[in-house]
Amino acid sequence: MENAHNWIVLKFGETSEKSLQDWCALSKRIKHLLSRIGSMLKGNWRTLARQQANASDAGDRITLDQNDASSGPLDPRPLWWRRRRDDLLALCPPDRPLYVYDLETVSARATTIANLPHLDRGWYAMKANGHPDVLRTAYAAGLGLECVSIAEVHAAREAIPDLDMDRILFTPNFTARAEYAEALALGVHLTLDGLYPLQAWPELFDEHDIILRVNPQTPEGHHRHVQTAGPDCKFGLHAGDLVEAQSLAGAAHCRIVGLHVHAGSGINDPQHWGRVGRFLAEIARQMPDIRILDLGGGLGVDNATGPQGINARALDAELATLKSAYPDYALWMEPGRFIVAEAGVLLARVTQLKRTPDAWFIGINAGMNSLIRPALYGAHHDIVNLTRLHDTPDHIAEIVGPICETADRFGAQRPMPPTREGDVILVDNGGAYGRVMGSHYNMRPPAEESVI
């Protein structure tokens, strides 16, 4: 803590001779840093940061009372990885990063969805994490598996030898004819998200039931890359296409039995699924064979120091309202992130440390080729030094990897304790869209996976 104190005072001292413009810029940066520190640390620090952020610009000398930082990082949640810290420290390899998934957490999350009183069927969107043990756990808890490619269908069949095809929902986008043909031959549920398959390959759908994905035109989600609705979005049918879809389906001798919306990912407002349900139910009035409304996935999760994710009770209240308004329809949902994000962490070792006039860097042996979310979406992941979990932060650091890109940064301006080469760094909420989005960029293999 003393270092952080000295550092902040030093930064002010260094620039006291500079122009007013520089001074204001620095002042803004310090305010930003203080509010970041405040949100990461316990209440007394929070209050202090607020006070400091309100301090007037020029001439203010910021001092931090060391007593204010007497306690460790803020994290009131009973996170599984705190309980399993010793196991994780023992598991972390000396020379390569590792994802670790807690199957109890997967099971608890999957059970929550499977047992939502007003949900008829829950599906795990396995694109979030296709580890065989995760698939088995979600399936055992009562969820079906939502697959976006035939390769995911194959992986599901391999992981679960007695897999019931009635528990596979295939939702491809712009894929080739052969994938539809194979999936239909296997007898899975199929969601179509364009007219082309019905126009070009009507023979495939003969005597089959299908679900149609509709674009509700209102994008949602934590970043524009994960918004899957809107006028220029590649997913789903526009409402104006539905009349033609019905006549094509009639000509192909298939029945449209369901409607689907997935508007985006990382949505924290439970009312979203109520809105989607009403939107689909209104369309379904014109379509007599509809019996399923699939409300999609997209459920946001908690960050220990960030926004709060979806509360299952509030979500079920939305479903209950839908059920009472539209009792004829079975309600389906297909979350991915909600099932696995908090069940996974990425462990990496500290490789090098660097201090520049403006920043401190902590280098770790995992890069954006293991977890691309911060680089691609600016996504926030909480980061702790697991080796020194209970030590007091004394500096603010950039947590970076070994990949040859400036975007190879897991976290910016993170309060960290004194850190040494070889320490184990934990990146939280790594269970969803982590390893599955990994690459071999720079010929570095992405982190491997393990379960506990």
Q: Which residues are catalytic?
A: 404
Q: Could you say whether residue 417 binds ligand LLP (CB under 6 A)?
A: no
* Complex with ligand LLP: residue 149 or 442, whichever CB lies closer: 149
Footprint of ligand LLP on 17-76 (CB under 6 A): none
* Complex with ligand LLP: residue 35 or 173, whichever CB lies closer: 173
Q: What angle do CA 240, 292, 116 make, to 5 degrees?
A: 130
Any alpha helices (H) in 354-412, and if so which ranges?
Answer: 373-377
Distance of alpha carbon 31 from the chain centroid? 29
DSSP per-residue string spanning 340-408: HGGGEEEEEEEEEEEE-SS-EEEEES--TTT--HHHHH-----EEESTTTTSPP-EEEEEE-SSSSTT-
Which residues, in sequence order, are bridge partners of residue 262? none
Considering only the C-alpha atoms of the chain, give the largest distance between any 2 of them, rounded to a whole number of Å: 80
Q: Among 172, 216, 336, 393, which residue sits at the site for ligand LLP (rule: CB under 6 A)?
A: 336
Q: Among 197, 296, 374, 438, which residue sits at the site for ligand LLP (rule: CB under 6 A)?
A: 296
Q: How far is the CB of 110 from ligand LLP (least distance, A)?
A: 12
Q: Could you say whether residue 109 binds ligand LLP (CB under 6 A)?
A: no
| Residue 178 burial (10 A CB sphere; 0-12, 13-18, 19+) | exposed
- How far apart are alpha carbons 288 and 292 in whole angstroms? 11
The token pair that represents 352 in the structure block: 């090098």
Query: How many residues belong to the chain?
Result: 452
* Complex with ligand LLP: residue 276 or 347, whichever CB lies closer: 276
Q: Among 135, 293, 299, 368, which residue sits at the site for ligand LLP (rule: CB under 6 A)?
A: 299
Q: Could you say whether residue 226 binds ligand LLP (CB under 6 A)?
A: yes
Q: Could you say whether residue 138 binds ligand LLP (CB under 6 A)?
A: no
Listed ranges 101-109, 282-290, 328-336, 343-351: which one lies at the site for ligand LLP (CB under 6 A) = 328-336
The token pair that represents 334 in the structure block: 């297909």
Q: Could you say whether residue 428 binds ligand LLP (CB under 6 A)?
A: no
Q: Could you say whether residue 297 binds ligand LLP (CB under 6 A)?
A: yes
Q: Could you say whether residue 180 binds ligand LLP (CB under 6 A)?
A: no
Binding region for ligand LLP (CB under 6 A)? 125, 127-128, 146, 171, 226, 228, 262, 265-266, 296-299, 334-338, 373, 377, 433
